[in-house]
Structure 1
């Protein structure tokens, strides 16, 4: 840790070593970030990334709603955008929003400005940076339907503006470069009556409350909807409703949500997800793809076989560190 501390750039924001991430994610489980960086502003972030050793991995953390942080923690630097990146400024039918802005603030600001078409962001528990990277969507709408462009700080510290077309959007995926941080985005809607917009937001909120376990420790939608199918229906059909592994459970209210009933580790939650995938594959022949990001490293193998890590999983497509590889920081005195 001291070797890495000596290699970190001077910053005006806040750098915290060995920072617990469980309190910052919705599952309330998982290990610590080797370092947590909360930049003061865009200049601070660009300077930090531009002078940080390229071998040190970085990743962005929003509201932590769609994420499993593995129990071994996250090597390198986790970047969390604070108040300086939380704003939504309307101009005509567009909104310029900071990368750390919640979907609720974006939707509410749009309503007040008479901008319709972004109500669906009210239903996604995340931030603008996550919406842009993952093409977040709900209720028939996706980020790619409203995004004009976004400002990004690349891992090199370079600042670039990327258009909607340059992000290569597909279902819950973009081609945003690994290690890039979305610092702002411009969304475009259409003219609407604030009362009608509010009514639509109320409808969406009621639908979520009725169908999803919103007051639980959960990570939101666990698996992507396969072509021609609903993930929850396949999970239910495979007999997984209410399935448990320790304190990790498949929600009885919505089968595509996993829950931490209290003392579940991230290994419990992820292994339960893999068990669900296996059962769905055996029942329907469909392979479910994870929608939840799984980041960090698992605990050492000796912990397996004790109800804490059966069913080893491979790294996902979100920059996870596979168990078969050493930490990117090996050799740095850590």
Structure 2
């Protein structure tokens, strides 16, 4: 492996780092010191090795068999944040809520919705995260990435091919820094809006449980006039269990690890919900949570 100034570990457990608290290990886990360290590593890495970036793992199911190849996790060297005129420039490891609060303190409106999105800015860009009537594509000016060859690129928002909960980032590229555009306004009003969003999220979602956020994307208008949670509820899935996994009774588009679930049980419960919704309404729900890695080995397979 190429030398790094950060940290490179073999067979590194990932489950405890995910919001669900489940999953296997990374074959190799890289925590680069900074963007230059990441660039040098990727530039020297054999091209046949797969590369995957994991942020705060707030919307991931890491499968029990772990993730082959190199998993990249950005940390302290990617957490700088600064006001830049009418915007915020920040590293990809910054928490979404921290960016919202920093913008509000600077009197910048329009970024308050980030307070309602768990995870980090890099992940938010990768999936065009959104909530409370706004999404990343509405506020992003540019994103700096390091591609699989180790090259730095600054891509304007138009180059990222944003759609509903997706982007067209180059394969295996890592978002390292972004600029988010705000609107100069009243700081007190921005802080008040963030407080409203946090209260609404607390009241409607199981934020203190081991969960992965919204499980399924809302259907398009052509598919259904109902939201995903309404279809799940109508199919009788509220509170449904599979092993240690459960559909939340508070918000049934959330899956929970009640304490001893495996990744296979959580994913299996999601597929059971999809099947029941399809049978009840004819709507095919699509996963919003990313499912990564290899399935675990069962006892019979191990024998």
Distance across 2 between alignment mates of 1:176 and 1:221: 22
Give the superposed CA RMSD.
1.0
Q: Which runs of 4+ in 1 moved over 6 A?
A: none
Structure 2 residue aligned with 1:330: none
Give matches, 1:170-249, under 5 Å: 170-228=163-221, 229-249=226-246
SS in 2 for 1:220: coil
Structure 1 residue aligned with 2:152: 159
Deviations 1:212-263 (A, max 9, x none): 0000000000000001331000000000000000110000000000000010
SS in 1 for 2:38: helix
SS in 2 for 1:221: coil
Give matches, 1:1-334, under 5 Å: 8-228=1-221, 229-300=226-297
CA contact (8 A) 1:15 1:36 kept: yes
Distance across 1 between alignment mates of 2:24 and 2:297: 13
The Cα shift of 1:178 comes to 1.8
CA contact (8 A) 1:247 1:262 kept: yes
The Cα shift of 1:88 comes to 1.6
Distance across 1 between alignment mates of 2:162 and 2:298: 37
What 5-or-longer segments of structure 2 have no aligned partner?
Answer: none
The Cα shift of 1:87 comes to 2.1
SS in 1 for 2:58: coil
The Cα shift of 1:301 comes to 6.1
TM-score normalised by L of structure 2:
0.96
TM-score normalised by L of structure 1:
0.87
The Cα shift of 1:300 comes to 3.5
Change (3 A) 1:45 1:73: same
Q: Tell me the matched-pair count.
A: 297
Distance across 2 between alignment mates of 1:271 and 1:172: 22
What 5-or-longer segments of structure 1 have no aligned partner?
Answer: 1-7, 305-334
Distance across 2 between alignment mates of 1:264 and 1:60: 24
The Cα shift of 1:302 comes to 6.0
